[in-house]
Amino acid sequence: MVDEHADLKPSPLHAEHVALGARLVPFVGWQLPVQYLGVKQEHLAVRQAAGLFDVSHMGEIEVTGPGARALVNYVVTNAAGKLVDGKALYTCACNDQGTILDDLIVYRRAAERWLVVCNGANRSKMVAHFQAVAAAEEGPHRVDGVAAPEVRDATDDTALMALQGPKALAIAALGGADGPALDELPPFGLRDATLFDVPVLAARTGYTGEDGLELFCANDAAPQLWRALLAAGEPMGIQPAGLGARDTLRLEARLSLYGNDIDETTHPFEAGLGWTVKLKKPGFVGQAALQRIHAAGLTRKLVGFEMVGRGIARQGYPLLDGKGETVGECTSGSPAPALGKNIGLGYLPLTMTEVGTELTVDCRGRKVDAVVVETPFYKRPG
């Protein structure tokens, strides 16, 4: 019998997932847990208490050297050049045509030391992109007399966990002297710390719509940190959470998924990510194209919709107008466990993007009514 998982990369936490009885699936070349006790239960644990995710498949790119700040600022659309030490931001990286290569979080650890986190599926592409731009002999990011920064793929050396939920910071506070101080981090703040005797880079970022931390550490220390967080959080209701809950949580929060809602056929403005594009900052990759796109105006937008009839929208399902004509496509869709509804995202013509606009979703030949609604679908209390 052929082992379909034989060529998959195991997470540094693989043995922990097996011990917890996780259902493991192939995902972007890795073997990762899709669920433990169930997607709904894990989703609600994150909304009500805390969840712990293994996201070690995400790509980590280190950019170091005197030209690091200029390189990162040139590759991304947002104003990374304005970051100070200990701050991060969300951004897109576009190609010369102005469409999205990936969405990223960039972390300024120091003026000459940056960390870029990309999607796991785009790891090779983004490492090559940063390296190619760094090697270019000309460009706004090159400074006379300054050597090109070093771009290193640190993914295989790094474990990454996401501790998310209203009790996440209280759980981290139990991790030793540095734990309580993490509650003082501002959104998108980061700092080195020691939690449960494990050195980590802790960032107040996440992909669930809840407060919490993302914790980077060495591979060999990851199991110790994983077990300690679950043990400390057990009285507060923490649960390990898999890819299934990660997807439903991010959809409720209307956070884009690369490969579904954004890709190299979409640009930031139509995807609702225009706020990440600083058109007036010094030259960056895709700037000229994005200026043209912005000046021309939109023809479609990514919108959120709620199913009115009984049915679940899934990626690829056609979206129909009042005449029954296909005018768009669902890019993400699922039940929303915290809301008790079925929701989705999809691109629609500009004339159909107002809240309250009725549409129909073709669910494998069955026409189900839906309506455009405000997003995010879910906002955490307070």
30 & 120 share domain = yes
Please give the single-letter amino acid code of residue 295: A
380 part of a folded domain: no
The pairing of strands 100-110 and 198-203 is unpaired
288 part of a folded domain: yes
Whole-number pLDDT of residue 204: 98
Domain CATH code at residue 364: 2.40.30.110
**Residue 222 is part of which domain span?**
1-296
Chosen domain end from 235, 267, 296: 296
90 & 161 share domain = yes
241 part of a folded domain: yes
179 & 72 share domain = yes
Residues 238-264 have a mean pLDDT of 98
Residue closest to 262 by CA, chosen among 101, 130, 104 = 101
Total domains, the chain: 2
The pairing of strands 100-110 and 113-118 is antiparallel
378 part of a folded domain: no
Whole-number pLDDT of residue 136: 86
6 falls in which pLDDT band (50, 70, 90)? Answer: low
The pairing of strands 30-35 and 9-10 is parallel
Residue closest to 163 by CA, chosen among 81, 96, 246, 263 = 246
Give the pLDDT confidence of 120-147 residue by residue, as tens digits: 999 999 999 999 999 986 666 766 667 7
Whole-number pLDDT of residue 3: 46
Going through 181-237 in order, the beta strands assigned E by DSSP cover 190-195, 198-203, 212-218
210 & 348 share domain = no
Q: Say whether pLDDT at 219 is over 60.
A: yes
290 & 179 share domain = yes
381 part of a folded domain: no
142 part of a folded domain: yes
39 & 129 share domain = yes
24 part of a folded domain: yes
Inter-residue contact 270 to 331 (CB < 8 Å): no
249 & 228 share domain = yes
| Alpha carbons 176 and 191: distance in angstroms, whole number | 15
279 & 328 share domain = no
Residues 284-300 have a mean pLDDT of 98
Residue closest to 101 by CA, chosen among 307, 278, 237, 290 = 290
Whole-number pLDDT of residue 1: 38
Whole-number pLDDT of residue 382: 77
Assigned token pair, 120 = 């796991």
What contacts 6, CB < 8 A, 6 or more positions away? none
Chosen domain end from 241, 265, 296: 296
Domain CATH code at residue 150: 3.30.1360.120
Whole-number pLDDT of residue 145: 64
Give the pLDDT confidence of 357-375 residue by residue, as tens digits: 999 999 999 999 999 999 9
252 & 321 share domain = no
314 & 292 share domain = no
Residues 162-190 have a mean pLDDT of 98
Chosen domain end from 251, 279, 296: 296
| Alpha carbons 172 and 262: distance in angstroms, whole number | 33
Q: Say whether pLDDT at 20 is over 60.
A: yes
147 & 91 share domain = yes
Residue-averaged pLDDT of the chain: 96
Whole-number pLDDT of residue 188: 98
Give the number of other Cβ atoms within 10 Å of residue 309's Cβ: 13
- What are the CA-CA distances from residue 53 to residues 43, 113, 134 (Å)? 11, 26, 33
Whole-number pLDDT of residue 5: 57
Give the pLDDT confidence of 42-101 residue by residue, as tens digits: 999 999 999 999 999 999 999 999 999 999 999 999 999 999 999 999 999 999 999 999
78 & 99 share domain = yes
113 part of a folded domain: yes
Whole-number pLDDT of residue 2: 36
Whole-number pLDDT of residue 31: 97
Whole-number pLDDT of residue 143: 67
Whole-number pLDDT of residue 336: 98
148 falls in which pLDDT band (50, 70, 90)? Answer: confident
